[in-house]
Amino acid sequence: MALRSQLLKGVLDACVMAVVEEQPVYGYELSQKLQGIGLPDISDGTIYPVLLRLQKNGFIRGEMRPSASGPNRKYYFLTDEGKAELDQISAEWLEIAKPVSQLLKRGGENEENS
């Protein structure tokens, strides 16, 4: 099992909501889109439970729409509550990521431009 799987714990929800906020997407599309922005391969078996949980909590809203080619697609939209939740998780993530990155960036050559 990839180490990465654990590193995404808790942030995946926020990542999904952030993508949905930019532009409504359907699940199948999402798993591919996340790769595009630099996140490791996330299978659809991973994101569907996330989408269902987010929907159950009222953070996103799903809408079935016909597709010009292929089966119908369920597009998800971010709700106001979802936006609030996204803001909160984002704040906490950034708060934690800062000291952690600082701590882990030891190791000599930091040519990383922050």
Partner DNA sequence: AAAACTAACTGGTGATGCAAGGTAGTTATT
Partner DNA sequence: AATAACTACCTTGCATCACCAGTTAGTTTT
Cβ distance to its own copies smaller for residue 38 or 70: 38
Q: Could you tell which of DNA, its own copies, none binds residue 44, using a CB distance below 5 to 8 A set by kind?
A: DNA
How far is residue 31's CA from residue 7's CA, in Å, rounded to a whole number? 17
How far is residue 61's CA from residue 87's CA, in Å, rounded to a whole number? 17
Cβ distance to DNA smaller for residue 9 or 106: 9
77 bridge partner residues? 61
Under the binding rule (CB under 8 A), the answer on residue 14 touching its own copies is: yes
Q: Could you tell which of DNA, its own copies, none binds residue 104, using a CB distance below 5 to 8 A set by kind?
A: its own copies
